[in-house]
């Protein structure tokens, strides 16, 4: 497909502006107001070298490039050269390219030979997989899909929270109040009730905390009884987690959690010691980061047990040596900003130059309408409950509205779960938000169901076109002069921009950039659909319009797929 910004830079370079191709490329703008052109070149930079007023320079450049067949017209407006590209040539280029590559539209090879690790979701074993986990889960999955689409060898890691003092508390609670049959019947909710009870009882009897610490110390030393209970809790939890992941259509390449690195931490402690970074403080071991503008980092507690930071350093070293990553991305809540700054800094102090390739992608927190969530106090909204309720609500809407589908259950699942994911990815990831059933289950406006319905509408148009849709071919022989309306051109422009949007969303680790663009494409398609009569009698006109419908269907479907959302053909 023609890269118009690059082509315009080449044409301007040949016109003798005095600027290099790279400088011209950086200077060319895309006006928000399309009455000012599809692209604009400001001439202010040329004034000093050419010793002329910018408006006069703009006029001279306009005269030199106005006859180029790539342009419909070129105007000098004050100090700007405003370029309007040929609509017919543009439509041929865009529609032809999209139809030719189909589901690969927007895909690239820019990441070939480079490995990107994306760590996301990472719930704690024996604790609820709640609505708070959805942010890391769906943001991380979208980032994985974006990098994979751009040709990177992308590894999905679920760094399970399967280690730490909470397991001492859980084992302690189970031994005092637990029943095996209750855990087997409903693992997470039962284990949560034990964990909640432990904290209630520990407030009355603080010695329980000492007992839990002793149990975790025994677990770290490999005590058979503690290890057997820990493994059982892990296996039962994963059964429930995987049920939710299956609903979301998400899978992982590795479930190596914190426990995986337990035998890799002595090496890290030795390296810290050898570098003179480890200090003793009240029986604990620390790294002093105050000269780096950060607080002291606690590496081991006074009882010798390790912490998150120790395990994360060991995990980082292992991943570099095992995967030789180009980027190591952590999709973790903004609450952990300091933690990541500390351990990235320690890795750098150890002399590992790959510390700069570790990226923390923070996101805002989810709270409930009546306050923050608390696992300790049992105040959570289970993610599985949210997804099931969204599916059930969608099913009711389908039945009430008599939606044209012969697969009510499957459509309800695709649309209901898609609505939850889309809502999560619609806003800038760093924003905090309050979970609301009304917002999640509202299918009106700029929502996932709206975009999915648009995709289904495009599919319906193509089905209703019958043989005419089959005649589109690769789009090369179609007469695009029939697509004269502004709505058609605007839709094609949105489709054209999508590959750049995919790159931008990946580089900014911001799926909402793509979400916004997918909504814009859906709105542009619906304007085209309402303003143009597509299935007209004139066969040549019909085929041209159907080609644009087909390109829109592909682009919208690909966009939804990159967000982790299915695109139904009937709805």
The catalytic site residues sit at 127, 130, 133
Close Cβ partners of 203 (under 8 Å, ≥ 6 residues apart): none
* 391: number of Cβ within 10 Å: 20
Strand order through the sheet with 358-361: 153-157, 115-119, 327-331, 358-361
Q: With left for phi above 0 and alpha for psi between -120 and 50, is residue 116 left, alpha or beta?
A: beta
DSSP per-residue letters across 75-113: EEETTEEEEEE-HHHHHHHHHHHHHHHGGGTT---TTTT
Cα 462 to chain centroid, rounded: 30
Rg from Cα positions in the chain = 29
- State the greatest distance between any 2 C-alpha atoms of the chain, in Å, as a whole number: 87
Measured distance CA(557)–CA(559) in Å, rounded:
5
DSSP per residue over 333-359, as a string? -GGGHHHHHHHHHHHHHTT-GGGGGEE
Residue 28 in contact with residue 41, Cβ under 8 Å? yes
Residues 438, 450, 509, CA angle at the centre, nearest 5°?
85
d(CA 510, CA 504): 8
Say which residues have a Cβ less than 8 Å from residue 211's Cβ, sequence separation at least 6: 168, 172
Can you list the alpha helix ranges (DSSP code H) found in 186-293? 187-204, 207-220, 224-248, 265-274
Instruction: Give me the sign of the Cα torsion angle 538, 544, 545, 549.
Output: positive
Name the residue among 533, 425, 419, 551 with its Cα closest to residue 494. 551
Decide: helix, strand or coil at residue 66.
Answer: coil
**Taking the mean position of all CA atoms in its chain, how far away is CA 218?**
40
């Amino acid at each position: 497909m023609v890269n118009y910004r690059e082509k315009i830079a080449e044409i301007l370079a040949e016109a003798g502006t005095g600027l290099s191709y790279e400088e011209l490329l950086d200077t060319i703008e895309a006006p928000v107001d399309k009455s000012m052109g599809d692209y604009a070149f400001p001439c202010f930079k040329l004034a000093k070298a050419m010793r002329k007023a910018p408006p006069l320079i703009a006029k001279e450049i306009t005269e030199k490039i106005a006859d180029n067949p790539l342009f419909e017209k070129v105007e000098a407006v004050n100090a700007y050269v405003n370029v309007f590209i040929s609509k017919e040539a543009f439509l041929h280029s865009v529609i032809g390219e999209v139809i030719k590559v189909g589901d690969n539209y927007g895909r690239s090879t820019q990441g070939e030979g480079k490995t990107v690790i994306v760590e996301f979701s990472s719930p704690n074993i024996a604790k609820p997989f709640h609505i708070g986990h959805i942010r890391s889960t769906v943001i991380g999955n979208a980032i994985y899909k974006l990098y994979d689409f751009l040709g990177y060898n992308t590894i999905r890691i679920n760094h399970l929270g399967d280690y730490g003092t909470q397991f001492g508390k859980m084992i302690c609670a189970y031994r005092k109040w637990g029943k095996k049959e209750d855990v087997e019947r409903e693992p997470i909710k039962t284990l949560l009730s034990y964990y909640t009870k432990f904290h209630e009882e520990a407030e009355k009897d603080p010695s329980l905390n000492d007992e839990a610490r002793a149990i975790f110390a025994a677990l770290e030393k490999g005590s058979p009884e503690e290890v057997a209970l820990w493994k059982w809790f892990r296996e039962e939890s994963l059964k429930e987690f995987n049920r939710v992941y299956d609903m979301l259509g998400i899978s992982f390449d590795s479930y190596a959690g914190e426990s995986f690195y337990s035998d890799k931490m002595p090496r890290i402690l030795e390296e810290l010691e050898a570098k003179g970074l480890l200090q003793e403080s009240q029986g604990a071991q620390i790294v002093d980061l105050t000269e780096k503008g950060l607080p002291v980092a606690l590496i081991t507690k006074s009882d010798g047990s390790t912490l998150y930071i120790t395990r994360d350093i060991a995990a980082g070293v292992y991943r570099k040596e095992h995967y030789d990553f180009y980027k190591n991305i952590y999709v973790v809540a903004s609450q952990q900003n300091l933690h990541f700054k500390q351990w990235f800094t320690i890795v750098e102090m150890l002399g590992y130059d790959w510390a700069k390739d570790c990226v923390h992608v923070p996101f805002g927190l989810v709270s409930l309408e009546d306050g923050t969530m608390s696992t300790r106090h049992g105040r959570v909204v289970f993610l599985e409950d949210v997804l099931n309720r969204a599916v059930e609500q969608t099913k009711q809407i389908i039945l009430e509205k008599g939606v044209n589908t012969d697969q009510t259950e499957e459509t309800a699942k695709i649309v209901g779960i898609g609505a939850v994911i889309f809502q999560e990815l619609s806003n800038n990831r760093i924003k905090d938000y309050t979970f609301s059933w009304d917002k999640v289950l509202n299918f009106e406006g700029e929502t996932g169901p709206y975009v999915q319905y648009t995709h289904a509408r495009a599919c319906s148009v193509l089905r209703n076109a019958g043989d005419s849709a089959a005649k589109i071919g690769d789009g090369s022989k179609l007469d695009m002069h029939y697509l004269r309306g502004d709505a058609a051109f605007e839709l094609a422009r949105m489709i054209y921009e999508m590959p750049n949007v995919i790159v931008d969303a990946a580089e900014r680790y911001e799926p909402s950039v793509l979400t916004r663009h997918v909504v814009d494409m859906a709105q542009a398609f619906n304007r085209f659909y309402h303003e143009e009569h597509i299935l007209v009698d004139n066969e040549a006109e019909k085929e041209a319009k159907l080609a644009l419908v087909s390109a829109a269907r592909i682009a919208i479907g690909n966009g939804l797929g990159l967000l982790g959302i299915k695109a139904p053909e009937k709805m």
